[in-house]
């Protein structure tokens, strides 16, 4: 039900948030492979790591700065979900974040980054290198969503080569950004409230969205 709700109500929001940055990544085609066993020239790993860090930071910023555009109906659902989890697990202070993060990061943003064509985020034919880049970005964004759980953040990296990457993002600054984002999207009155600057702009019609075929 949550997957369907996010797809139906949040598709335009997803496009607004991820399409610009993913279009850049697909167009630039910078190598981001950091697994030494998959790189012929080991000296290229450092350059690839730099590229990957840059891409992850861009995607992370696009997501965490998009909170106010989250559709009201999703904000209400996340709010109810957070309240319900808080009642069931009153001693777990992190559950208010992890229950929302488990849907918005793990079931919405991460899959969309991994398979952008399935979410109509690109029409480009993706080569193997770009698919690998998107896989690495998706995994990292998923891990960043888990930072709100102290248990998840203390777990060692599954792949040794991702250690340097996660070290860059497992910071208090990134944890606070994730928490603030989750707070806003689970507070109904804070969502979908345009700033004065946005209010003064002419309202353009939303592009038509195909929800289901057949």
pLDDT above 60 for 204: no
Percent of the chain scored above 90 by pLDDT?
A: 64
Contact between residue 35 and residue 159 where contact means Cβ atoms under 8 Å apart: yes
Q: How confident is the model at residue 205 (pLDDT cuts 50, 70, 90)?
A: low
Length of the chain: 214
193/186 Cα distance (integer angstroms): 13
Both tokens of residue 103?
């849907």
How many angstroms separate the CA atoms of 106 and 146, rounded?
9
pLDDT of residue 213: 63
Reading the block at residue 66, the tokens are 């998009």
Angle at 21 between CA 16 and CA 24, to 5 degrees: 135
R_g of the chain computed on alpha carbons: 18
Write down the pTM of the prediction: 0.84
């Amino acid at each position: 039900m949550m997957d369907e709700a996010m797809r139906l109500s949040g598709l335009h929001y997803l496009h607004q948030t991820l399409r610009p940055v993913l279009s850049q990544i697909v167009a630039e085609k910078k190598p981001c492979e950091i697994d030494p066993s998959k790189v012929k020239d080991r000296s290229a790993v450092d350059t690839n790591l730099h590229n990957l860090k840059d891409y992850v930071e861009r995607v992370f910023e696009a997501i965490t700065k998009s909170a106010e555009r989250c559709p009201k109906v999703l904000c209400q659902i996340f709010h109810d979900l957070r309240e319900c989890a808080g009642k069931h697990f009153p001693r777990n202070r992190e559950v208010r974040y992890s229950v929302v993060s488990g849907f918005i990061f793990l079931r919405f943003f991460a899959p969309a980054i991994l398979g952008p064509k399935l979410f109509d985020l690109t029409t480009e034919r993706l080569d193997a290198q770009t698919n690998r880049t998107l896989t690495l970005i998706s995994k990292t964004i998923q891990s960043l969503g888990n930072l709100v759980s102290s248990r998840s953040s203390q777990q060692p990296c599954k792949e040794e080569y991702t250690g340097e990457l996660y070290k860059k993002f497992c910071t208090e600054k990134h944890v606070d950004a994730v928490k603030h984002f989750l707070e806003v999207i689970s507070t109904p009155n804070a969502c979908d409230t345009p700033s004065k600057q946005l209010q003064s702009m002419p309202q353009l019609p939303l592009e038509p969205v195909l929800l289901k075929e057949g």
